[in-house]
Each structure stands twice: as structure tokens, then as C-alpha cells.
A and B are shown apart, each in its own frame.
Chain A
């Protein structure tokens, strides 16, 4: 059945597609879960919907309330759609170095945007966020980095969908941001199969992004529980761009750069399994399509040119 009562009801149940050309052998197969097929085109629709429903059920959100969310993109777009349909106002705090497409979509949905300066580093973002919060104590923050409904969305939907569609799954690979996808899906899959490998791929940005962050001022999302993970890879811009292009050329998948990073880690573990003579079904998350990132310039020219253009941008 592919008929739904509303757009919100069409969230999830995304296709899992095989990648026969990229798979190393008939015994070591790669699978892509197409989260860009969600209502606003990213995996974040699942978390946004569950967080809003959770806050409504808990009485934290009432019609007409204002939701405040610091986000570098997709969560904002998902929340903007959910907020519009459920009757809330949305204010997004975001760094000014995110792609223009994301900003345009947010504005179209009627979200308001407050920029935190890219060059000012995280300290300035923190100061600004505190100020906004102090000025508007009635605004509701869903706080995706610590909201259990974010991880629960994946425990209740993404995990069961994967195992339903691929009972022989051996590896699950996804991007590490809020950690919600990996924590929720990972816990579900581990409960059903203790042997399953849960693998994180995190983007390694250019130096400008890390800036002069003091080691004592690091951030680890409250949702993060390293015991859920088997391994964790850091993927540089060049590898992410290389895999993003390979996915289009070899399998016809047009994805965002974070998915390129995830595919890099997935190929890594798949080829390891091949070398060791083990059977493997490696499923990875396609967090979003490439449309919102075209203006970064990362899809054309040589790899080195793309890498240079993405330097200093939050490409995932």
C-alpha cells in the first residue's frame, strides 16, 4: 500500500536497494537505504516527527508555540515541514556557512533564521544561543542531540525496516552527527542479532571548521553511547567527494557528501570481509540527495578542486 492520509504519514518505510556494481562479490553485498525518499528528502524527517509528537504527548508543545532549534540544515527543514503542518512557529539558529539551498527551503516553509558567524567559532555560537534563550524563555527547544525521541525514531522504524527487508544483514553503517540514527538503529539490530556490526562514519572537515576550539571545550552529544558502536571511521573531504561521485557513476545514486563519507566506510568494511573470506550484507544510510549541495561546487571539476571548494563548509 503506497497511499497515505497526509504527508506526515508518508514518513519512513524507505526503499532498501542493492548496489550490485559496487558490491565486491556475490557473497559480500552493499545495500543503500534511501532516506532521501522521506517527505522533505532526508533521514531527519523521522527524528523531527518523533520529537514533535513526543513533546506534544508530554504537554511541552501546544498549538501556536515557537520551536527553537540550532541546526546546520536537514533537521531544520524537517522541523519546518512538521511545524507548518502541526501549527507551530520555527526559529532556526544556524552557522552562516551552510549551503544557500537549505536556507531557501527553510524560508519557503516560513521558518525564521538567526545566523551564527562561521568565523566567530563555536564560542560565539554558544554566547549567541544563550542570549536568545535568555530573551525568549517560552520558546521550546527539542534539542536533537539529547532528545531520546530522536534515537527512538530509529529504534522503532529504521531498525525494524532494515531487518524486515534484509534479515541476513551483518553490518550497518551510518553517519555520526547527533548520533540518533546509529544509537536507535544500532540498539534494535544488536538486540535481534548480537553479532551485528554497527559502524559510524563521521565527516572530517577542513581546519577552519575546527578552528581554535580548546580541547576542554569539546562537545559529545548526550545521546552518544559508544558501546552501541563496533567501529568508528573519520572520513576526509576528498574520500567523501570521491565516493559521492562513484555512487552516481556506478549505481546512479545522486547523494549528499555525508552519504559519500558513509559509503567510504561501508566499502572499507565490505572489502575487509572479502579479503577475510566472510559473507557480508552491508547496509548503509543515504541521509539525503545531492540537490541541496550543488551550490558548493563539489560536484564538478577535479577532486582537488572540489576539496578546495568544500574547505571550510559544513558538507555533512
Chain B
């Protein structure tokens, strides 16, 4: 058994188009290093130069946000399911439009 990782559309260029890939590791950091050995460049899209999780990336272990489980130090075990998603709180379109109107981006 391994850890199943769900990849969002925008990052599938790193996985040859695959929606899900498998990896291993005791922590999220280990898992991302393992994935990067086969899907080069993926890790750099998720982790900033400062070594933290990218602000606009959400990663979930068994549907729970890893930021509340130790972030990159979150513990993983075989059979876990990891989901990577772009951050879109509040309904993607409304918020994108609202942010634009408010001049925040």
C-alpha cells in the first residue's frame, strides 16, 4: 500500500496528465520529496523559497487541512489519501470578482 495523491488540473503537467499518483513518506515533506523524484518540479510549485507551504495551495490528508496537522510535518501512513487544491474559498468566481473590485489584486 502507498499514499494516494490527488493532483489538481493545473499541476498535471508534472504528472503526465495523471489525476492521481502514488507516493510514500512518513511526513508530508517526505512525501513531496518522494513525488518530486518522479515528477520533477512538482514540489517547487507547492513549497515557497522560504520552505513553507505556498499560501494559495491547500493540502488535505484524509480531507483534513494539513495546516492544522503540523503543515509539512504532518504525519502520514500507508493508505492515507492526500488531496492538493488551489485555494478558492467562498466560491471561486464571486470571490475572484470581489477581490478585483476591491482592488486587492
Q: Footprint of B on A, CB under 8 Å?
A: 68-72, 93-95, 116, 118, 122-123, 125-130, 132-133, 141, 143-146, 176-179, 200, 202, 204-205, 207, 209-222, 224, 226, 229-236, 314, 316
Interchain CB contact under 8 A, A219 and B96: yes
Interchain CB contact under 8 A, B10 and A70: no
Interchain CB contact under 8 A, A122 and B63: no
Q: Given the complex of chains A and B, what is the CA–CA distance between A71 and B67 in angstroms?
A: 27
Please pick, from B56, B85, B91, B102, the residue contacting A72 in the complex, using a CB distance under 8 A: B91
Q: Is the CB of B25 closer than 8 A to any CB of chain A?
A: no
Interchain CB contact under 8 A, A215 and B89: no
The 3 closest A-B pairs by CB, nearest first: A218-B56, A122-B96, A129-B97
Chain A contacts of B58 at CB under 8 A?
A: 234
Interchain CB contact under 8 A, B98 and A145: yes
Interchain CB contact under 8 A, B100 and A129: yes
Contact with A along B69-92 (1 / 0, CB 8 A): 000000000000001011111111
Interchain CB contact under 8 A, A71 and B68: no
Interchain CB contact under 8 A, B65 and A128: no
Interchain CB contact under 8 A, B65 and A234: yes
Interchain CB contact under 8 A, B102 and A130: no
Interface residue tally on B, bucketed by range:
35 or more
Interchain CB contact under 8 A, A143 and B102: yes
Interchain CB contact under 8 A, A126 and B87: no
Please pick, from B55, B97, B102, the residue contacting A146 in the complex, using a CB distance under 8 A: B102
Chain A contacts of B63 at CB under 8 A?
A: 204, 233-236
Chain A contacts of B39 at CB under 8 A?
A: none
> Which partner residue on chain B sits nearest A217 by CB separation?
B56
Q: Given the complex of chains A and B, what is the CA–CA distance between A218 and B102 in angstroms?
A: 15
11 A-B pairs (CB sep. < 8 Å): A70-B101, A122-B93, A141-B102, A144-B98, A177-B90, A218-B57, A219-B89, A221-B90, A221-B95, A232-B65, A234-B65
Q: Given the complex of chains A and B, what is the CA–CA distance between A236 and B60 in angstroms?
A: 12
Those of B1-44 within 8 Å (CB) of chain A: 8-11
